[in-house]
Structure formats: structure tokens, C-alpha cells
Amino acid sequence: MSGERYVDHRVLKAFAQSRVNVPAEEAKERRRQVNHLRERLENYIAAHPDFDLVKLRASGSTAKHTAIRRKSGTGSDADVAAYLRVGDPAVDVSNVLAWLEERCREVYGKTKVAEDFKPSNHAVGITMRGSGLKIDVVPVLYTGEPDDRGYLVTSDGVKVLTSVTQHLRFIEKRKAVAGDGYRELIRLLKAWVRESKEVDPQLRCKSFLIELLVAHLWDVGWNGKPLQVNDYPAAIEQVLAYIVRTGLKTPILFTDYYKASAVSATTEPIQVWDPVNPENNVAKYSELDRLRLVNHAKATLDTLTMAAYAATKSEALDAWREVFGPTFPGE
């Protein structure tokens, strides 16, 4: 795109810092709450070893520094992986989430009410009343494999191989070369998705999918150019253009921890493979979900095209507000 940009990298970086990135004090409070929970849970389970708790690991977006600040208290603020030792990963674990929820309730005793604990498909969510912070405690079955490799457990007993350590290394490896703009770009794209879901609650696009799309484009580039992590408007356009041009029909996989041959093709409309687990497609969406996401990316790309060629700064800002909401540019 050409023409004068009223919204450039500097403007988007300032917006990220004022409205998207987690403030330093809030990040500190998240870490304090997580460490408090870890200490209480470790002490309790050591004294009541129904399962052998091996270790607790900070995981998810907070650990990867790709989390965005809370908006109206939605979503979780931090994830903790609770590694539980089992002799055989094939053990019946249909009740592990219920067991973990009961342990969390016992840890906090009468200081919390029933509504503070909300189990999801794979975690026990705990809301801290004072701060409003929410921590998801995710059980991981551990058989002693290196690099924190273990099995996530869903509410219906399905086990999915994962590794908190390898996921952190995966993103850190790319950030080390790309610089801080790599993770901030991810945060901006997550903010776009969150705003988009407020307009269309049926839109499906999980945070992990955004992270892997950015990783893929960092690895291979787009349209003959590397991912422009130091030019946020250009990089966002690259990601959107990739979604639109490919229709998300091209499988994405990474060979950091396994060979490409380990992945087996499926009939699922979108195939983006977990860099740690070649059997886990992280985007098990329907064809309707794929079309909805591609069409939304196209609409956003059209909006950014208008912003790039806007005759006035006011018109450009109005266009970007369609992308990031009414608080843009957050000055």
C-alpha cells in the first residue's frame, strides 16, 4: 500500500502500550496471585497425596508474554499447569477435573464461595474476589518424560500430549531473533479478535491460533517479504492477507520438535498443528467457522485499505476504530 499513513507503527505501538499490553502493576499482581495459589496447592497436596503432584508450571499467554489486559473481567488472566504423576497415561482420568476442583476448594476453605470456582473443558477456573483476577488450573498427567511433556485432560477424559516448556521455547526462539515486536504484534492481533467477537460472538479464533499464524509467517514470510514485526500496520495486513488469500486451507505445521512426516492429513477445514504434538490440530473448526473467520479478515483488510488511503487523519482513525474499538488510539 502507498500514500501517507496517519496511523503508522508509532501510533499502534502507543496504543498497544496504553490499551493492550498488561500494565506492569497488573502483571506483578498476577504473578503474586499465581505464586500464592501454587504455594497453597503444593502444600495441600503434599499432605493429601491422592495424586502425586510433581510440579506446577506457569503456562499459557501470561507465561509467554502474549497476554492482553483484561476488558470487563472476561477470560482468564493466568494459567497454571498442575503436573500429576501417573504410572500409565492410559489410566482412567474421567474424574481428574472434579478431583482438582475439590482440592482447590479445600485449599481456600471458607475464604471463597462456590461461585468462585468454575470448571471448563480442561481447567478449573478460580476467581480472586479482591482483584477480580481469574486463574485457570490445568491438570497435566505426567509420566516422567523430559521437557515437561505430559497429557492435558479434558472434561470428557480425552488426553492431549503437551509440553509447557517446549511451547515457551517455541515462542522464545522466534522472539529472540525478531525482537519485542514479535510478541506485541501477537497482542495487537488478539485485541483485534477480542473486539471482533464482541461484534460477532459466533466468530471462532482462539489465541493459540493467532500465535501460530504469526509464527508461521515469521518462519516463511508472506508474498516474498518477511513478516514486518517492526511495522505493525504492514504486519497486520500481512496476517490478514494470508488468511484471506489462503482461506486457511493450507495446512500449517512446525518441525521444531517432530518431523513433518509425523503429521497425518485430516478432512478438517482448517489444519494448524500444535508444534509440540503432531496429532493435535489446534483449529478443529467447522467449514462455517472457517468461512466466517476468512470473511471477517477480508472485511478488516478492506477497512485497513481505506485507512491507508484516508484523506484525513479523522477518517483514518475512524477506520482503525472498526478494528480495535472506540478507545483507539488510546491517547
Instruction: Give the CATH fold of the 22-162 domain.
Output: Beta Polymerase; domain 2 (3.30.460)
Q: Is 99 helix (H, G, I), strand (E, B) or coil?
A: helix
The larger pLDDT score, comparing residue 111 to residue 230, is at 230
Instruction: Give the CATH fold of the 9-18+168-324 domain.
Output: Poly(a)-polymerase, middle domain (1.10.1410)
Question: Residues 125-136: pLDDT tens digits?
Answer: 998 877 778 899
**Domain 22-162 in the same topology as domain 9-18+168-324:** no
The larger pLDDT score, comparing residue 190 to residue 59, is at 190
* pLDDT at residue 155, rounded to an integer: 67
**Is the per-residue pLDDT at 91 higher than 80?**
no
C-alpha cell at 62: 501470561
CB 171 within 8 A of CB 62: no
Q: Is 93 helix (H, G, I), strand (E, B) or coil?
A: coil
Q: What is the mean pLDDT of residues 264-269?
A: 92
Question: Residues 115-169: pLDDT tens digits?
Answer: 899 888 788 899 887 777 889 999 899 988 999 999 987 767 778 999 999 999 9
Q: Map out the domains of the chain as residue ranges.
A: 9-18+168-324, 22-162
* pLDDT at residue 3, rounded to an integer: 47
Q: What is the mean pLDDT of residues 101-108?
A: 82
The larger pLDDT score, comparing residue 41 to residue 248, is at 248
The larger pLDDT score, comparing residue 330 to residue 2, is at 330
Question: Residues 306-329: pLDDT tens digits?
Answer: 999 999 999 999 999 999 999 999
Question: Residues 181-201: pLDDT tens digits?
Answer: 999 999 999 999 999 999 999
Residue among 181, 135, 152 at smallest CA distance from 274: 152
* pLDDT at residue 73, rounded to an integer: 46
